[in-house]
Structure 1
């Protein structure tokens, strides 16, 4: 059973050092320069959580996609990282790694467990900045957590959330901001969701408008449709609703996750029938059903032209259970792409054959470029090509945009140009990723041109450069891959990987 925590104190904090997200939340914005340096130091220091092994020929940790799993050991402290990290070229590679648990699944499961009635255990979860702020916020809303080992234990609220007097500070975690905006409607009174300066530039208006069509009372207090956002609380009436799904699938997932606790069944349709990154919504629906919700796609015809919508039944709350978090597809993309760039082979353990995570689609692209992909029951291996990587020309990555950063770096080494298209929403991520990719790829000697929703990459004579990461974990991980082939690549602020994979550079060194 979970040890009882003091009100407002997460059980994992009893006897544990503060997390980077807690420090950022507590310190006032007036201390921003000091806070930045201190948070960098903290995120390079002790951080409890599941340890992603990286060692040649190592045995995998056992865990499944949805059920009891073999606990993994708790990580040692993250190795201290310098402000700038030189990358040493090397290859061919020969490594077997275990990536951390999926951020997408962890944060969905954390919210579901917090809404359920009873104690849930989560095996193989991700311990990172993004899951820190989700747990901290859910603790403030009334859930209890014990994350001192693996699995984590969560005592839920039965859908009865608190209304805190202070704003929930979500740093720059998009899943946390969006999921909690919808969940906050279930609280008895007002809840404010706020974040760092970049979060205050990331639009949330489409989510707020959709919740309003379902009867919720919310207001945006930031500029240009961005946080802070205030949910008045009092419940979610439900019924038919409509959402503009072209900007972020997280808006749709946010509504779905809260919908079992609505007063009426929720039927959510989509403006012009469009939904970006649909596989992430499929993942949300699958996890909801795993916890007892009744949710799925239905056909519907209405005055707006009909089309598919998603229906979630009210009155069927989540049931607490033991649940396993599968490895993170977005993280696995980097070791897979490392094999494509440097040659040799890299295996990632623990990947179930029936995974719904969208970013595993990058394996199809690597196969088409000439890599060999070997899929086994609980492991995937990528072997680099025997010759040059083949250019695929135009590649539509709308369904898995997070993998576009790693793929853009792979494209540097192809035998022709590449255009990554239909990825407009990269501009509203942790940074404007299209602009950042354009700038940093040019530094390495390639031609790179970004327009509204695509990125053109023309390989050229490549050379080393100092890479700015824009406090974006995926920029740091993606451009580290370039250093496997290009001498002189230096990653600035490598510690930003703590957002989703605090031990990334420990694993990277072991490739």
Structure 2
């Protein structure tokens, strides 16, 4: 489904929206809930990824489990990594874990080898190092494992989540410089919240075993990655525009809460009021630059700890007519698509001058935005949502717009509620 976003203006300058629970927190807690059934959860994410996790975990709990059961996670990378670890410790269960054609191109070898160090039985069904994989669940007694520290934090979190159910716990050594630390700390904080003892000193993480817990009710914070598109919308709007989002915490576990500081550079302030945040456009961007003209300014940021907001930031900068140099993006090449190349391709169509390396993106300042460009989304939810705010500047077309259901199913409805004009063809409104 292709959506046509007409050049829009917010109908109200003080909108209020509720954002679904964090996908990152939800998927971690769903796995922990499966390991510890006394956990109850509130504000679960309504994303496709979380639904895939829930269905897979419920399938294991059914009485009609076959000798070998196939579970398809579709495009859900988090589910693939977390479930690989989870099924590895389900004694007596055999699973073939598979996914979409893109998922079969996304590497899993690092996690598989780490689990094999612990004694897991995992085999590749097609190509070495990639899904689908066959997992024969068993009791794991080894406790020591090491892997490179600059890998996706999801590999590390997958190991940490099953660690308290290992007979001897886990001692994980990370080799080299650690990336995505906030996501590792998020996992450890959630373990601590249900009573599991952990330590993270230098490059060593220790998780102590804990086989039962008392009743525990947890409320999941709303998703900061989803909030990023509203930061972008406010940044591209008139001074005085306000949008209120719920429910958020000032001491968030989510790395993407870095948006609060980052978007100050684009004239957006964030005020915490109880469980809500109020975003307000208070000024035009003011960046450090020797040039007075806005078009000569460039925003620089290291995003090792929050790579998922890189697409949003790049498009925001383009919409404001300023440049950016974003680094620490090496994990973006193995996401739903190669996000760096995808950004380069689609921004170029809009008139931008963009260059990328294996871990960075550089956008030159420009005041030109081509109108009615059709944005390819590459089956990537973040491509669709990151580019949508440009409709405040020019008409734009988003291809395969339904892909937003992966993390934010109500995104297009929420845009319409604040004044965006969206049609599925030239004559009928969405």
* Structure 1 and Structure 2 fold alike (TM over 0.5): yes
Contact 1:369 1:392 (8 Å CA) reproduced:
no
Q: Secondary structure at the match of 1:510?
A: helix
List aligned pairs for 1:350-369, cutoff 5 A: 350-369=247-266
Which one of the candidate residues 270, 281, 291 is aligned to 2:184?
A: 281
Q: CA deviation at 1:333?
A: 0.9
RMSD: 2.0
Write the distance in 2 (CA, Å) between the matches of 1:259 and 1:129. 26
TM-score (norm 2): 0.89
Which one of the candidate residues 15, 27, 30 is aligned to 1:107?
A: 27
Write the distance in 1 (CA, Å) between the matches of 2:214 and 2:68. 29
1:508 equivalenced with 2:405 (yes/no)? no
Contact 2:2 2:397 (8 Å CA) reproduced:
no
Q: CA deviation at 1:349?
A: 1.9
What's the counterpart of residue 412 of structure 1? 318
List aligned pairs for 1:311-460, cutoff 5 A: 311-343=206-238, 344-388=241-285, 390=287, 391-414=297-320, 416-460=322-366
Q: 1:245 to 1:222 in 2, by over 3 A?
A: farther
Q: Secondary structure at the match of 2:236?
A: helix
Q: CA deviation at 1:162?
A: 6.6
Write the distance in 2 (CA, Å) between the matches of 1:416 and 1:404. 15
Which ranges of structure 1 fall in alignment gaps of 5 or more residues?
1-81, 145-160, 299-306
Q: Secondary structure at the match of 2:175?
A: strand
Write the distance in 1 (CA, Å) between the matches of 2:263 and 2:3. 30
List aligned pairs for 1:146-295, cutoff 5 A: 165-189=68-92, 190-272=94-176, 274-295=177-198
List aligned pairs for 1:33-182, cutoff 5 A: 82-91=1-10, 93-118=13-38, 120-142=39-61, 165-182=68-85
Contact 2:319 2:369 (8 Å CA) reproduced:
no
Write the distance in 1 (CA, Å) between the matches of 2:104 and 2:110. 15
Task: String of CA shifts for 1:212-245, please: whole Å, max 9, x gaps.
Answer: 2222222233425111122222122231110223
Q: 1:415 to 1:425 in 2, by over 3 A?
A: same
What's the counterpart of residue 406 of structure 2? 499
Contact 2:260 2:269 (8 Å CA) reproduced:
no
Q: Secondary structure at the match of 1:375?
A: strand
Task: String of CA shifts for 1:24-49, please: whole Å, max 9, x gaps.
Answer: xxxxxxxxxxxxxxxxxxxxxxxxxx
Q: 1:383 to 1:482 in 2, by over 3 A?
A: same
Contact 2:196 2:210 (8 Å CA) reproduced:
no
Contact 1:238 1:259 (8 Å CA) reproduced:
no
Q: CA deviation at 1:321?
A: 2.3
What's the counterpart of residue 293 of structure 2? none
Contact 1:339 1:384 (8 Å CA) reproduced:
yes
Aligned residues: 403
Q: 1:462 to 1:244 in 2, by over 3 A?
A: same
Q: 1:406 to 1:143 in 2, by over 3 A?
A: farther
Write the distance in 2 (CA, Å) between the matches of 1:397 and 1:467. 24
Q: CA deviation at 1:210?
A: 1.2
Write the distance in 1 (CA, Å) between the matches of 2:52 and 2:246. 27
Contact 1:413 1:459 (8 Å CA) reproduced:
no
Higher relative contact order (CA 8 A, sep 6+): 2
Write the distance in 2 (CA, Å) between the matches of 1:255 and 1:83. 39
Q: CA deviation at 1:450?
A: 1.4
Write the distance in 2 (CA, Å) between the matches of 1:510 and 1:338. 13
1:480 equivalenced with 2:388 (yes/no)? yes
Structure 1 segments (4+ residues) deviating >3 Å: 161-164, 315-320, 388-393, 413-416
Q: 1:235 to 1:345 in 2, by over 3 A?
A: same
Q: CA deviation at 1:128?
A: 2.2
Contact 2:4 2:395 (8 Å CA) reproduced:
no
Write the distance in 2 (CA, Å) between the matches of 1:94 and 1:389. 23
Q: Secondary structure at the match of 2:168?
A: coil
Contact 1:242 1:270 (8 Å CA) reproduced:
yes
Which ranges of structure 2 fall in alignment gaps of 5 or more residues?
288-296, 419-430
What's the counterpart of residue 426 of structure 2? none
Contact 2:315 2:387 (8 Å CA) reproduced:
yes
Q: 1:143 to 1:398 in 2, by over 3 A?
A: farther
Task: String of CA shifts for 1:341-364, please: whole Å, max 9, x gaps.
Answer: 123121212211221111110121
What's the counterpart of residue 61 of structure 1? none
Contact 1:206 1:243 (8 Å CA) reproduced:
yes
Contact 2:123 2:135 (8 Å CA) reproduced:
yes
Write the distance in 2 (CA, Å) between the matches of 1:360 and 1:204. 28
Write the distance in 2 (CA, Å) between the matches of 1:419 and 1:83. 30
TM-score (norm 1): 0.75
